[in-house]
Amino acid sequence: MIKARAVRFGMLPMAVLGILAAGCGTQRAGEAAGPGTPSRSASAAATPSTPVDLPCPGESPTHAQPKAPGASGPSVQPGDHYAENHGFMEPIPLHGQKRCDGLAAVARIRHALEPLRKRGDFDPASTRNALTHLGYATGKVRSYQDGPTGVGFLIDASPMCLEGTMSSRDTKADAFGGYPDHFGCDQPRGGH
């Protein structure tokens, strides 16, 4: 008798679990709900919201729209997990006012480094000095030799990161919001 009762009590949690796993309704994702039931369109339910950036001061409206996710990355074949496995290395884009602040910081950096570039001064110490004169803390600015006639830099201007290169041809700089699952502005190594 005790054995039969234990089996019945053991089946009760299994039955409840089975009901919960089956779900409560018959509506599937993308199907319209019945009459009188509020519903979202299938595209609204399946598509996460994409931030819309307004033009920043001095920027044309065509540059304000963010690129579609994965637009700049390698093309991914179905079943290829390269993008998924290397997503931790993709910088987080800035949006809204942070994006405008990043564009302004990039313009200031390029303006500060242009005299060095014109003189052909690609010494990392000169670059670091020019960047710290913009108000960035010495401990947050890294500069390094980038090839025989170039210099690279990385600035942790939390909550934004600024990085770029300077060569005899031009000065490039970019602002971003760090990396997913990683503290700091340096590109993470390794993976999950």
> 184: helix, coil or strand?
coil
Q: Which domain holds residue 143?
A: 97-176
pLDDT for 186 equals 84
Residue 19's pLDDT band (boundaries 50, 70, 90)? Answer: low
The predicted model gives 60-68 an average pLDDT of: 54
Average pLDDT of the segment spanning 65-73:
44
Beta partners for residue 161, in sequence order:
156, 176
d(CA 99, CA 56): 8
Q: What confidence tier does 73 reach under pLDDT thresholds 50, 70, 90? A: very low
- In the chain, how many domains are there? 1
Please give the average per-residue pLDDT across 96-113, as a whole number.
Answer: 95
**Per-residue model confidence as pLDDT tens digits over 84-93:** 665 666 888 9
Distance of CA 119 to the CA centre of its chain: 35
Residue 36 lies in a domain: no
For residue 169, tell me if it sits in a domain. yes
What is the mean pLDDT of the segment spanning 88-100?
86
Amino acid identity for residue 8 in this structure: R
Report DSSP state, residue 87: G
pLDDT at 29 over 90: no
| Adjacency order of strands within the sheet including 171-176 | 141-145, 150-157, 160-167, 171-176
Residue 170: inside a domain: yes
Instruction: Grade residue 121 by pLDDT with cuts at 50, 70 and 90.
Output: very high
More confident residue, 31 or 98: 98
What average pLDDT score do residues 49-69 get? 64
The pLDDT tens digits of the residues spanning 122-175 come to 999 999 999 999 999 999 999 999 988 899 999 999 889 999 999 999 999 999
Question: What value does the mean pLDDT take over residues 66-86?
Answer: 53
Q: What is the pLDDT of residue 84?
A: 63
